[in-house]
Structure 1
Amino acid sequence: MTDVDMAIREYLRAPDDGFWEWREGGEAIVWKDNRTIAFRAEVAQVLRWLAPQGLPSFSAILLLLAATRHSWLEDRSGLGIIAGALQESAPQSLLSNAFSELDKVAQLEPELRTQIAAKRVLVEMALEGAPRVVQGSTAEAIAEAMDRGIGEFIDVAEVAVVASNYAPALLARDLHLLSAGIHRVDAQALRMRLTTGIEEAPQSVELELSPSETARQLICSLLNDAEFAGVGRIAKRLESMTSLPRRLSAAPEQEAGGYSDIANRGPLDRLLASELAHDNNTLAVRVAMNEALYICRESPPSLPQTNRAILIDAGIRMWGLPRLFATAAALAFAAQSGRAGKVDFFRASDDFAEPIELLSRSGITEHLAALEPDLHPAAALADFLKRISSDNVRTEPILLTSQQSLDAADVQETLRQLAPPQLLMAAVDRDGTFRLWERTPRGCKLLREATIDLADIVSAPAALVDRSSTSDLPAIFAVAPFPLKLPHAVRQSEIWWSGHWGALSLTSDGRLMRWTMPARGAMQIAERLPIGRLWWASQPDAGDNVFVVAGSAHKLHVFSVGREGLRQQPTPLQLGDFGAVASVCAHNGILFACRKNKVAVFDPATGAQLDRLAIPHGLRWQHGRFFRLTYDGKPWHALSYNGMSARFEAVPVFANSSVTLKLSTMFEYAGGDGPVGVTPTGQFYLTANEKLERVWHDLSGDIRVLDISLDGKRICLAAPHPEQPSRLEYRSIGMPFGINHRCTETAFDERITRNCRALTLRHRFNVIGIDSSGDLALRSAKEQLVSFQLALNTPAMVSRSHGLKLQRPIAFKPVEGYFGYQLSVARWPNGNACFLDSRGLLHLVPANRSLPELTLVLHEGELTGWRSDGQMWGKPYFIAGSEKAGDERSAATSRNLFEPTIRSFVHSVHA
């Protein structure tokens, strides 16, 4: 008998002097007087639900399940049984308080205590603060044992029962936990948690954003601003050119600080003293086999905070387009300033550097309205450098002017006299040239150079997609955002988690859908997108747009979407003769398309190809923008672009120590400070602080990485052990490291599986007409019939008997035009029309346009509908905005909206 079997037996056995016992070979749990408490199948589902967080006392769970039964309030004999089991080990007040709280459970609405889903959440809420009796793999084993039957664990006579002096005390503890836990449960919180997973609706809060986050949000908002859209587009393109190389801090000669860990790798001078007790041969073998133990010092302090100060030339040479160009460049510098630093803006005004506010639309307007008569900003440079030198924090000074002003003799003489230790100089010209120089006492160096088409500054923003390509399409096609939430088949390769957005997915019919809540459908964000696979998607902040690359290997498109719809029309990447793409990645706002022997660099705003780079021999792509060298040397390299050319940069792995480390994969995660490596043992190496992060898992053997989520916060590992060598064990590891989730071969991101619950919609019909009861009905090719009628005074879609004939039948015919999804129409001679939508919708368009149009969701049972006057009814799953508190749609409301509309349409068909 294994330890796990003993733990299962210990948890599930019934004490002789307890209040419950097993019956029917372990299929039922009953009171001592043989009244039913619960059945094994329902208890198994509750334990399966609780197992990932550990299992509380089994007796406490049974008392809660007993209170959910209809007989709880009718038969009070349980009170006497509990009192007898306590054996006067607890005060009478504890028993009365506990049963008073359990009575509150019995008084809940039936839907909140009888359905198994409700019971699971009820037990979870009531015992949330209770101590866990078993945890981890033992809890999972108990839940699995309950699933398959527990006769083998309760029929063993030699297992000792709980001693009499312990059972009453444990029962008293359970009653105390129930009194405290159920007190926190109420019907509203239970209903909210059952449908959304949280007990209270989240309240919007004002977040204190860093200057870089504020700048990125401002740039995104300017993209749709009629006046400043061009400034926003130019700033977006300049973001990758305004990112400066990160300066690595050198390792100190002698590290200070205490010890933080023990590892099996390190320099010889950090060997544990106990290792030196071995003889020379043993020590040499232990060092060679990585069995020796080393002391790890504390992590070095993080890099100091770095601020940016930007001086903008507003003189004569900068009037016109250069003013807008420089403003866009200033916003781009702010967006790339980092999360910790702040950004200060100044305008050159005579001999002074005048502070200005540029991170708002009003600030941009005020800055552009200020005109200075100076030829160049030389006179203001001294005041600018003086202002920023008084700060104790390291500041990067940036001068934004024209190349002509930068080359002026007065400016160069001023720079020689001031001799700043570092000055970044960005030059913008009317022809669209952007250059970034770094000036130090050792000389001047060109860091970035690019040419941008400034015609975008004066052009109007791109028009959003027009859903109504023809005038006779249903009215719902012209509504944005689409008012109904719809399910769809979830393809694991085309769905990803996107931080503040929730789960986003590309459908096979060219739609982008957003899943936000477990009990709701997906919101349609965009349609008529390129058909093909998902190649890459950005991980935006709360207010940013999402950039997506989709299509086939020979024809890729990039587009961006905001929460309300498409922001940028799908733009083809100009692949030219590049050939079939194998992978797509991005860094600092620039896209990279990779194949076996070369890389192409693209601007995501225009799709233009900026550069090409040959992949050196021996360098093999691994994941994202990371490549591994197959021979000795610096093993890991990352793609980057400096505004002029693409290159491979070596990724430092223990750059400041003599430790060598083998990594099987390297990736980045959203919000992280640097790349993360995965070791063959399934541990993580953080390049930002050169530290190994241990992840406790039960995998062993040759661990492989099967998949990594787009945001890098879920990784799927596989290993031949702990079970049979031919069977893989899957784990999903979240960030921060150490949070493990079980997953399956087809789905490893629990954030997606938790939020994406698809219902089945019908759309395979070929004829519409009126059935014998006078109701509108649809008929499939297999002679299956469904009709739309009132069932129990509620609008419903009902299946009918086979072989029924339809009156005035009309066949559906395809609608011309490209929609992605299939659209067909049935038209009666009097002008009435019905559009059948492969998304699972039926659109009723009456000939009399004064009557409202009607869109029905083709889901059997309770009917969901939308009218062209904006009224909606039906299941909250399909209705956008139905998650708001107080959104009630009664059966009477649904009937009053549905019946007159559908009846008037049926009468018009008969006319």
Structure 2
Amino acid sequence: MAIHQQTIDYFQAHQNYFWRWAEGGNVIEFANERTICYREDLSNILTALPQTTSLSLGTVLLILCACKDNWEELYNAEVIINAINPSSLGEEQNESDHFVQLKAKACVFLGMLNKLPIVYRSAANRTALLQCIFDALAVKGYHMGLLPLLKEFNSGEMDEQIFGKTQPLAQTTIVQDFAPLAAALEVFGDTDSLEMKLRTGLTNAPTPISLPSATPGNESLIEQLENDDSTISIAGLAKRIMAALYIPLHLDGRDDQNLGGVSDIATKGTYDKLLLSELAYDDDLFSVRLANNEALFFQREAVPENKNKELGLIIDSTLKMWGAARVYAVATAVAFAESKHEHQKLKVWSLGGKHADIYQLEGKKDVVALLEKMDISMHCGEMLLKTVKEIDKNGQYILVTSTHFLRDPTSAPYLLQVREHLDYLVTISSSGELQMTQLNKKRSKLVHEAKIDLDGILLSRRKVNSKIVQENLPAVLYDEQFPLYFPTSKIRHKQNELYRMKNNGVVTVSIDHRFLYWPSKNFGAVELVSNVPAGKYCFGELDQLIVLMVIAEADEVVNIFSIDPKTKIQYVNDVAVASRNATDLKYVDGYFRFNNDQKTIVIDVRSAKIITEEQANQLNLKSSHTPSGGMSQLKKHLNNGYSVINSSKAIFVHAEDNIFSDKKEFALMDNEFRWHENEMAAVQWVKPSSQEIFYVDHLPNIKFTKFTWKNGSTAVVDSRGLLHLKSYKQELPEIGIIMIIDQPTACWSMDGYVSGSRYFIGEPSNHLMPPAQFYEKYIQRFIDNLK
């Protein structure tokens, strides 16, 4: 009978408590009659917990409540929990302060738990969340193991006793339900600590141990180049080349087999090569077979002789290989140096017209020296002949030169004379084209080709004849979060370039390479990524993240962006894969897929790794979400009928004290901010003394036009549709204005206040200021300071 009573005590509801059974025991509801869970759901959760775990049912139910997104509104939990007063139970009054504090801490923890990402609070992961919390507390349990109680509960034999009655509420019940939650608050402290426990099993990140700094000799060549700003571009280019060339296995000498395969069976050999079948004979017969040379042994193939074969790179350093082609050639040498076998010997020749220098490429200094070696001769034909005569005929050799060498009638004949002694020919051009050709005695075969964006890797992102200004930028550019929603600007209205999400939000990549997200048709855009590589795009959703695959126009690397739209935290993974001529881009169930020239590539978004065709077939991927809505609906979602001012030839103040952009006037009309056409009043009264265009490093595709008045005040027109105003008087905060035409717009100030259209402001905040007050406090003062 003891087990029966314990089952009743565990599952029976209490009088005047926060939960109770309803609908004949099929539903557990909160005190306000809102459903917490169903009986079957609760049974499954408790069954999935380890058998040794003993959890109070009240604690489990409170955690299940906090797992729901709208739990505060749904349950009004804090008010109902605080209404549970121990003094009403006939207990001693002097203990009431303890219970108040206990319940308060429990409510704080439940609120902290509710801030976890939804993936940790989903129906499939609630059991893991429960176990994680109680593992961290090292809970011993207030009851015996749950398994025998669950068996009796699920049998249904005690339903009448459990669901038909309620038991009096005792202080011990409140303690065992709320004390674990209060203790959990002390263990975790914040949501981040709880999330780390769920992800890693640790409540805090381990303290890093003190390690001696690595010596240069312990770093790879690529790492040495990456650690120096002057050579980091060489490292990046070498990585692109390694991904594009797929250096053949027989070329890099990576044969880690100590012995060859089995080639024959012989009657002589060492005992480690004895056939296992010989051991089946009895001892006497086995001895006779050994004595008469009748026992059988494996005969191995000979160890490959080319394991340490010399790998030689012959690099043309003459005039036509100067500039970007020179950097390209050296990066190619670094790529081969990094791909060779660790025991393979590498030798690099730098050929001029009359001399040749030899390098080992063992460190960064060798790379720099190779870069500096340039010759003014027109071609290296003569030195190529001389070098080939001195090389080891058993080695493998690669000539790296320009396409001009093959087309020039004075240099091309030299290649014909040495062709049979070379294994590969790599031709490059300053425009980023690379071809790798395998050379045989009678024919040649193109094995790899690639086109890499050299400007994007080697050059800074600067425009010709433009001034780069990284100091004194508009203050909003230094902030992590833009204070308003962005206007819709430079969008391609094409079906395959707009993606409607499950929550009806829309994402796209703009013409100026910004990854934008419209959470609702009632608000403007959120800028998730300010600078996305140019190329082909594919969109998707994974848990609570927005994911984007970028197949760059030139690189053989696929970029996977994963962004949380609420926090704007982004993760970027680079996947090295041949992606030229990619077609049929799709996102399916957490996987991006596309077709290249050879096959279908499938990339797992979670691990950023390519999966095999067999694995892809086993997954039986089916589209989990098909974007809906016609183009007209998408256009209405992105834009409510306004036009954006992306550039201005002139910014000035009219005699009537209003700001103008060309012939468009900014004014306060009917208590709304508006830009509107006003050609009649477009007379420059207070105009700037200078004007210049500048670009910002982290926003290379955005154009900024800066207007400066004589007193030092400035106006900056941002091609995203923004106007930044900065007075020469330091006490006046910087101001920003959204530049749209014939629709109410919005403004912000750098001291935190916003004003104007809710379309750009979003939900009301404590820093919302009426337009008339904002205009007088900020914009009018800026205008007055110009006079």
TM-based fold match above 0.5: no
Greater fraction helix? 2
TM-score, length of structure 1 as denominator length: 0.38
TM-score, length of structure 2 as denominator length: 0.43
**Structure ID, larger Rg:** 2
